[in-house]
Amino acid sequence: MQAGVRVLEIDEGTILTPAAKDYLKERNIDVRSSQVSCGKMTVQPLPSGEGRFVDAVSGERYSLKPEHMTHLHSNVLVPKTHKRIAFRGKLDCLQAQLIGVQMVAFEEGKQTLCDELDELLDCLRQILAAEVKNEPLKPLRLLNMDSDQIRYASHHIKENTGIDHPVPSYKMGRMCVALNRLRTQVREVELAAACAFEDEHGNCTRTDILQALNRLSSCVYILLCRTLAGVSKGRR
């Protein structure tokens, strides 16, 4: 490497915007490998200092982050209305809602249910981390079941809990009503993910995240049915 030349590594096949190329050339930075992808264009984060923020769509540089924009990855910015950012907000809200359901379980003395909900909460945090870092999710395992077992259990409720698929009602009690509401909220986040990770051809770019959210809603449904079965057993 020539004296005074700095090296910026990027992944093979990464496309730099013309503005980014000029910026790197002016500062005698040699490009070699690390990428940030957004939609149709891939943009390389720029070094710190003047113009350290870069618009993921236009490639425009900013010395200060505009208030209407936020970080997609590193110093790459998108509008706060971006679908990925909206998905992250929904995911954050879902975590808060799940903790609220945990509080109900705690107040009713259901420590086992609290612990099971902790598993789901940890799964949500893993989903958020994988999305932000552009990393694949680890194989899913919740309630001592893998992905296929969760799907089977949610479709064979009577076999697993002794009750039929329930029709939601206030008569289920506060705990079950809270779990049923949480189940619907997980499905809303799953829909937000489907919108956030749909490419221009209608294909999903993060099927791992969509599947995890789908199984997560199934887990909440299983917990609802288990809790309801316990209530029904007590009444009998």
Would you write out the chain's pLDDT as a tens digit for each of its 236 residues?
444 555 565 544 444 555 556 666 666 666 654 444 444 444 444 455 557 788 777 778 887 887 887 777 777 788 888 899 999 999 999 999 999 999 999 999 999 999 999 999 999 999 999 998 889 999 889 999 999 999 999 999 999 899 999 999 999 999 999 999 999 999 999 999 999 999 888 889 999 999 999 999 999 999 999 999 985 444 43
Tokens of 61: 């540089």
Task: State in Å, rounded, how far the first CA of the chain is from the last one.
Answer: 80
115 CA to centre of own chain: 21
Q: Give φ, ψ of 60 to 5 degrees.
A: -65, 145
| 55 contact partners, CB below 8 Å, separation of at least 6 | 43, 61, 62, 69, 77, 78
Instruction: Tell whether domain 83-235 is in CATH 1.20.1200.
Output: yes
**C-alpha radius of gyration, the chain, whole number:** 23
CA distance linking residue 209 with residue 212, whole number of Å? 5
Secondary structure of residue 134 in the 3-state scheme: coil
Give the angle 184-100-137 at the CA atoms, nearest 5°.
60
Question: What pLDDT was estimated at residue 158?
Answer: 93
Secondary structure of residue 215 in the 3-state scheme: helix
β-pairing, 36-38 vs 41-43, is: antiparallel
Q: Give φ, ψ of 213 to 5 degrees.
A: -70, -35
Question: What pLDDT was estimated at residue 126?
Answer: 95
β-pairing, 53-55 vs 76-79, is: parallel
Domain(s) labelled CATH 1.20.1200 in the chain stretch across: 83-235
CA distance linking residue 61 with residue 203, whole number of Å? 30
Q: What stretch of H or E contains 20?
A: helix 18-26
In the chain, what percentage of residues exceed pLDDT 90? 56
